[in-house]
Amino acid sequence: MDTNSPTPVGAYYQEHHVAGKRLGRSFLEDVRKQMFSSWIGKGKSVLDLGGRDGRLTRHFLEGNRVVLGDIDRAALARAKQNYAIETVEVNLNDPLPFDSDGYDVVVMAEVLEHLPYPKITLSEVKRVLRKGGEFIGSIPLAYHLMDRWKVLRGKKVAIAGDPTHLQFFKYDEILSVLSSSFRVAEVRVLKGGKKAERWPRLFARDIAFRCVKE
């Protein structure tokens, strides 16, 4: 048996994301690069999980020791070639191949929605973080008013037409999931307009979060 072959979930992800189909792109890069760089700061050991080809990762390389983990070998090769990022092939559905208490910051940007068992992955994220370390990232939300209107019209809920999305979190639901492992220190609306900033439960379509391991 080939122990290096991807799990069925990993193979499905690779089928839709390798071969350069989504390389060189980063959702709301200008907004997230400033936000994440500010949250991370300098002099940190950072683990970016699901960072693909390093398009976003590159913005918080300076002054930090950064490791990028992803299942997509083509993306990892591109990250190493273009930005000289240290990379590790990682399947987020398996135990993480990193020491406990090894990182100051773990980043997962637009990743949790792709995982079949996010709470298990979050327990691994907590394990590899040092006490007081921060878990930051972003995630698309479902069941905002636009999605509810789709359901009323008999349509399926889908986020950006991506078949690798396995989770469809409501605003309160993702906060509950994060709170099961961390203290949620900050949440910011990335997509949804001004109404979403005032009423995130109804209008937020994507949020960024900063959590702390206590």
CA distance 26 to 190: 13
- Going along the chain from its start, the domains and CATH numbers come out as 8-212 (3.40.50.150)
Distances (CA, A) of 67 to 17, 34, 136: 20, 19, 15
Per-residue pLDDT, 18: 44
Give CA angle at 50 (119, 72), nearest 5°: 125
Distances (CA, A) of 12 to 6, 114, 162: 9, 11, 12
Asked which of 38-42, 141-145, 204-208 is least confident by mean pLDDT, the reply is: 141-145
CA distance 86 to 53: 11
Which of 179, 167, 165, 172 has its CA nearest to residue 213? 179
149 or 135, which is more confident: 135
Beta carbons of 178 and 171 less than 8 angstroms apart: no
Give CA angle at 8 (156, 176), nearest 5°: 55
Mean pLDDT within 129-157 = 75
Per-residue pLDDT, 156: 60
pLDDT at 2 over 60: no
pLDDT at 23 over 70: no
Per-residue pLDDT, 1: 31
pTM of the model: 0.83
Mean pLDDT within 139-154 = 64
Please provide the average confidence, as pLDDT, over all residues in the chain.
Answer: 85
Residue type at 212?
V
Give CA angle at 193 (188, 196), nearest 5°: 55
Give CA angle at 177 (57, 6), nearest 5°: 55
Share of the chain above pLDDT 90, in %: 66
Query: Among all chains, which residue has been given the structure tokens 């949440």?
Result: 187
Mean pLDDT within 57-85 = 96
Confidence of residue 3 (pLDDT cuts 50, 70, 90): very low
5 or 145, which is more confident: 145
